[in-house]
Amino acid sequence: MRSRWSESEAAQLGGADHCETQLRLLAYATWLVGAEPDLAMHGGGNSSCKCPLGNVFQETRLALFVKASGMELGEVEPQDFVGLDLDYLVRLLDLPELSDGAMAAELACHCVRPSGRRASVETLLHAVLPHAVVLHTHPAAILALGNRTDGAEVVAAALAAEVEVVPYAPAGLELARAVRAAMTRAPAAAALVLMQHGLVTWGPTAREAYESTIAQVTRAEAHLAKGRVRALTSLVSTTAAEREGRYAALGPVIRSVLGPGEVDALADRVVLNAELDANAVGLLDTPQGKELALSAPLTPDYLVRGRKAPLWLDQPNLDDVKAFREQLTKAVADYQAEYRAYVARHSEDPGLAERDYPPRAILIPGLGLVAVGKNAADARMVRDIMVQGLRVKAEIWESGAEYRSLREDHLFDMEFRVYQQAKAPQSTADIHSLQGSVALVTGAAGAIGTGICEALLEKGCHVAATDLAGPALDELRATLVRREPLRAIAVAMDVTDKASVAAGFAKVVRAFGGIDAVVANAGIAHVAPLTELGLDAFRKLEAVNVEGTLLVLAEAGRHFALQGTGGDVVLVSTKNVFAPGAGFGAYSATKAASHQLARIASLEFAPFGVRVNMVAPDAVFSHGDKRSGLWATVGPNRMKARGLDERGLEDYYRSRNLLKAQVTAAHVAAAVLFFLTHQTPTTGATIPVDGGLPEATPR
C-alpha cells in the first residue's frame, strides 16, 4: 500500500477559516482512503476531525465533525460531516446505557451546525479519542490478520508494538468504552486494531492520520506475504468461456426467481452483478469453499449489504435450465425459512420473523458469485464485499489458521439495529418505479433514441443503448456513462445481423442479469418516388426496418420466455404507417411491415405476460444539438419542394397539426414511459405523438 497524498492538491484546499480548511483536508484524506477498496468498502469506515467553532455570542467551543452514516468514503464532501458538541458527546460515555434510538436523538439535538444527515454510529468512538484527526478503516490486510482464532497474537506480532488491540465490542457506546479503556492502558499507542472491526489511526493533521493508515496496512501486507503454508485446490475445471456461456442462459433465471412474483410488480424487480472470474471466486470450487463462504462476514458493517450469509447452491445443475430453475426456487425458499428461524431465535418482535429475507448473494460452484440488488449500485456493493470476503477467508486458511466468526447473537444485534437498517437498501413506494428495471434501446445514437435513453435513466431505469459501432455510439456512451456510470452501458449491435443481436442481448444480461423492456427504435429512411425507387435502396430499408425489427422481436421473445417475469416491447413506429407521404414509399411500407410485426408479437407474447405496444411520432427534427438522421435524409427534399429553410420547415410541420405543437424526442420518450411503467393494462396499442393529425389517427 502506498501513500497517494499530494501536497500540491492539498495546498489548494484552503478554506475561509481554520475549521473549514480542516474539513476540506479531512474530506481529501477520506477520499484517498475511499479510493482503495482494500482500505474501505462501500460505506464501511468513517473519519473525523476536531476544531474550535465560534457562535453568534462570540463563544468558542470544540466541535467534532464526523462522517455522516452510510456515506461512501470516496464520495464525501466537506458538508457531509456532521458537526457536534464534543464536550456533550464525551459525557454520554458515562451513561449506564444508550439505545440506538436514544443515541441518534442525542446526536441530532447537539449539532453545532444544521445537518439533515445522521451522524455515524461510531461517533462516540471518535469523541473519546483526543486526537485532532481520526480515520477508521476496514483494511482487508488487517481483517486477514485479526479474523482468526489467534488473531490478537498475530496482529501484535505483525504490527508495531505501539499498536493496541481492542477486543470485539458492538459499535456505539460499548465500542467507544472499549476504546477508552484501551487508551487508558496504552496512552502512547499509535493506532488501534479493533477485532473484526478494522483499524483506527490518527494524527495532528489529516495527512499524518492518512499516512499512519498506509504504514500500518503496509506492515500487515508484508506479514501476510510470507505466511502461506497450504494451498486451496479447486475440484472443478471450467473455462472462462464456459462460465460466461452458462451465465448467459442462467442469469435471467436467477433474476426471475429472486424478482417479483407478479408481472406488474415493477418495484420488486432486481438487478444482478455476477463475478465469474475463477481467480476471484476460486474458493467456491474447493473442498473448504462452502464452510468458509458461509461463515460470518469479515466485519459486522457488511451485514446490511450481504446479510448474515449468502445462499450456497449445492451441486447445481448448470446445463439444464428447467432443472436449475426448480433447484434454485427450492433453495431460495429454504434460505428464507432458515433466515426467519434465525430472526425468531433472537427477536422479541414476532413481525420481524414474518418478513421476506431473500438472499443478496448466491454462490454457485462451477459458475461464480451472483450478487442481487435493488439497482446496479446495490448489486455492485454486494459483489465487492462478497469477493473481498472470499479472498480474505482463503488467505486466512492458506496461512494455516482458522477463520473466526462472530457469535450469531452479535450478528443479529448488528444486522437489525436502527443504525444499520437505516443504511439498508430500501424498496420504493412508487408502484411504477423502474429502479430495478433494465431496458435495451435499439437505434439509440439518434435523436429519438438518445431522448428515450435519457428519459429512462431519469426514471431510474438501467439502460443498454445499442446502435452500430462508431463515433455516434461512442459519443452517446460517454454522455450516458458520465451521467449514470452504473446504470448505463452502450453495446454495439447491428439489428440486421442475427448473431449480433443475440450477442447484444447477452452483453446486457451479463451487465444486469436480464432485460425487462426492449425499445425497437432502429430505422432508416429514403426519399424517392415509386417510379425511381430502386430495389437495392428498398432492400436496404427492408433489412433494417423489417428484418431488423423481426430479429429484435424474436430475440426479445426468447429472452422473456426464459426469464419468465413478463416484460415490454415498444416499437417506435411512425405516422406514415397510417398516413404515408408521396415520395416516401420505401420508408412508409417497411415501417408498416415492422408495425404489423409488433402487433403480431402482442398476440404471441401475451401468454407469458409481455406487452407489445407502439408509439407513432411525426416530425421530430432533433434532440438538443443532435439532429435526427431521418430528417437529415428527408429534410432537404421537403425544404426544396416547399421553398423553405430549416426553420421554416419546422414551423410548417408544427402548424399543420391540430395542437400547433412542436413534437420532440422527449415527447416520444414520455409515450414510451407510459407503456413501460404499466399505467394501464394495455397491449397492441399505438399512441400517436404528432400534435394531432386526423388522417394519421390509428383506426
Q: How confident is the model at residue 672 (pLDDT cuts 50, 70, 90)?
A: very high
Q: Among all residues, which ones are annotated catalytic?
A: 587
Same fold across 240-418 and 438-621+664-689: no
Per-residue pLDDT reduced to its tens digit, 178-201: 999 999 999 999 999 999 889 999
What is the pTM for the complete model shown? 0.91
Three cell numbers at 357? 429475507
Task: Sketch the domain layout of the chain as residue ranges.
Answer: 7-225, 240-418, 438-621+664-689
CA distance 262 to 268: 9
* List of long-range contacts for 531-540, beta carbons under 8 Å, 24+ apart: 533/585, 533/586, 537/586, 538/586, 538/590
Q: Is the dihedral of CA 430, 432, 437, 442 positive or negative?
A: negative
**DSSP for 284-309, written as a single string:** GGSTTHHHHHTSPPSSGGGHHHH-SS
**What is the pLDDT, as a whole number, of residue 429?**
63
**What is the pLDDT, as a whole number, of residue 83?**
94
Q: Does pLDDT of 489 surpass 90?
A: yes
CA distance 84 to 478: 41
Kindly report the CATH number that applies to the domain delimited by 240-418: 3.40.225
User: Are β-strands 361-364 and 198-203 bridged in parallel, bridged antiparallel, or unpaired?
Assistant: unpaired
Per-residue pLDDT reduced to its tens digit, 273-305: 999 998 889 899 999 999 999 999 988 888 878
Q: What are phi and psi of 68, to 5 degrees?
A: -65, 150
* Topology at the third CATH level for domain 438-621+664-689: Rossmann fold (3.40.50)
191: left (phi over 0), alpha (psi -120 to 50) or beta: beta
Mean per-residue pLDDT, 43-61: 85
Class of 7-225 in CATH: alpha beta
Q: How confident is the model at residue 306 (pLDDT cuts 50, 70, 90)?
A: confident
Per-residue pLDDT reduced to its tens digit, 96-141: 988 888 898 999 999 988 877 888 889 999 999 999 999 999 999 9
Q: Does pLDDT of 441 surpass 70?
A: yes
Residues 466, 504: contact at Cβ < 8 Å? yes
